[in-house]
């Protein structure tokens, strides 16, 4: 039996930067001191099933483990421990690539058990992180979905998504397709300090506009809300999203599970030393004295007067701008077309 052992194939930060510029991702600053290490993996499966009441999808695909965007608050950081790797710099720079992801999805579609439900790209790490420029796994996965008209939802901080406007447009016309651009900061400098590898905020809104013009339903994720740091950014971000063609929006409170808390706290104190204590106090205020809440149904939202004020601010501007008035994507009937069996000639 062939062992599915990950294989180190590259550690190319300079060539990697060139790829970023080529696809217009907008990241033009020097990378972190930690070198990029890319490992290829023959995965056993690609569809992940979710039963949490906190998210709006059951199935997701994640072609990459770890994420070059290096967001300090990323709730997926602890998953790197399953690989025997750390949740800090290892998560940011030791990226595992599931090179057989498209083939696995095609196999899943061929099974009678698949009912053509919405697939989320990605439920864990960003499917449009810069390595996608080389591996094109997200594009190939979308091609599989388009060939069988399977509904998709995409959430990303990567402006590289505009490369796939053609495919996303096809999915929007023939199946169902909704793209969510994540943007939690109005200030580029602040964003760069907390999520240093992600596309600039301006590039994300440009991508949103291009998607809307291509006929793709697009919206904004104001996540995470970090009280004392970006909660006053919400009105401006919603305005910009509406101007770019967004039709929906949502917010979630910062989550700091397991190893995410020390990573976030260290980055916050380094990047925003005068605000760090204020932010931590505000988090405890909304989390009933804790820095994190892991209970399903509670982990995405806060408590108390300050969180209620944030929700009210969000609802007021969403209503004023006419957002969130459409039909939920997951409630629509599937358009999935099952692969046809090839008849044998013998």
What residue segments make up the domains of the chain, in order of their start? Answer: 11-326
**Lowest-confidence range among 5-9, 160-164, 242-246, 270-274?**
5-9
Higher pLDDT among residues 53 and 58, named by residue: 58
What does the alpha-carbon distance between residue 150 and residue 118 come to, in Å, rounded to a whole number?
Answer: 7
- List, in sequence order, every residue forming a beta bridge with 225; answer none if it has no partner: 253
- Burial call 24-56: b when 16+ CB within 10 Å, e when fewer: ebbbeeebeeeebbbbebebeebbeeeeeeeeb
**Lowest-confidence range among 20-29, 242-251, 253-262, 289-298?**
20-29
Beta-carbon-side half-sphere exposure of residue 183 (alpha carbons within 13 Å): 33
Question: In the chain, pLDDT over 90 holds for what percent of residues?
Answer: 79
What does the alpha-carbon distance between residue 277 and residue 264 come to, in Å, rounded to a whole number?
Answer: 13
Q: Residue 331: is its pLDDT beyond 90? A: no
Which residues lie closer than 8 Å to 243 by C-beta, 6 or more apart? Answer: none
Helix and strand totals (H; E) in the chain: 12, 11
H or E, element range at 120: strand 119-121
Backbone angles phi, psi at 218, to 5 degrees: -135, 150
Class of domain 11-326: alpha beta
Mean local confidence (pLDDT), 96-120: 96
- Interval 239-284: pLDDT, tens: 999 999 999 999 999 999 999 999 999 999 999 999 999 999 999 9
Residue 150 is predicted with a pLDDT of 97
Q: Residue 21: is its pLDDT beyond 50? A: no
Global pTM value: 0.88
């Amino acid at each position: 039996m062939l062992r599915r052992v990950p294989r180190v194939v590259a550690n190319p930060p300079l060539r990697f930067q060139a790829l970023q510029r080529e696809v217009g991702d907008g990241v033009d600053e020097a990378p972190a001191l930690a070198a990029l290490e890319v490992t290829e993996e023959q995965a056993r499966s690609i569809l992940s099933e979710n039963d949490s009441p906190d998210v709006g999808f059951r199935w997701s695909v994640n072609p990459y483990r770890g994420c070059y965007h290096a967001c300090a608050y990323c709730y997926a950081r602890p998953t790197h421990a399953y690989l025997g790797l750390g949740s800090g710099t290892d998560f940011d720079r030791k990226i595992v690539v599931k090179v057989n992801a498209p083939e696995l999805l095609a196999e899943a579609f061929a099974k009678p058990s698949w009912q053509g439900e919405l697939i989320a790209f990605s439920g864990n790490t960003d499917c449009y992180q810069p390595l996608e420029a080389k591996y094109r796994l997200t594009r190939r996965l979308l091609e599989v979905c388009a060939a069988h008209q399977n509904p998709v939802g995409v959430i990303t901080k990567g402006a590289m998504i505009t490369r796939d406007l053609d495919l996303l447009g096809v999915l929007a016309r023939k199946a169902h397709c909704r793209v969510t651009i994540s943007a939690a900061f109005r200030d580029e400098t602040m964003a760069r300090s907390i999520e240093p590898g992600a596309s600039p905020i301006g590039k994300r809104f440009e991508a949103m506009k291009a998607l809307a013009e291509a006929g793709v339903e697009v919206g904004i994720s104001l996540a995470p809300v970090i009280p004392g740091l970006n909660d006053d950014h919400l009105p401006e971000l919603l305005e910009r999203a509406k101007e770019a063609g967004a039709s929906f929006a949502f917010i979630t409170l910062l989550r700091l599970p397991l190893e995410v808390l020390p990573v976030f706290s260290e980055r916050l104190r380094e990047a925003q030393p005068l605000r760090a204590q204020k932010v931590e106090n505000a988090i405890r205020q909304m989390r009933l004295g804790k820095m994190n809440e892991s209970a399903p149904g509670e982990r995405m939202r806060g408590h108390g007067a300050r969180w209620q004020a944030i929700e009210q601010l969000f609802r007021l501007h969403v209503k004023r701008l006419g957002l969130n008035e459409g039909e939920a994507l997951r409630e629509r009937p599937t358009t999935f077309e099952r692969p046809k069996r090839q008849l044998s000639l013998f």
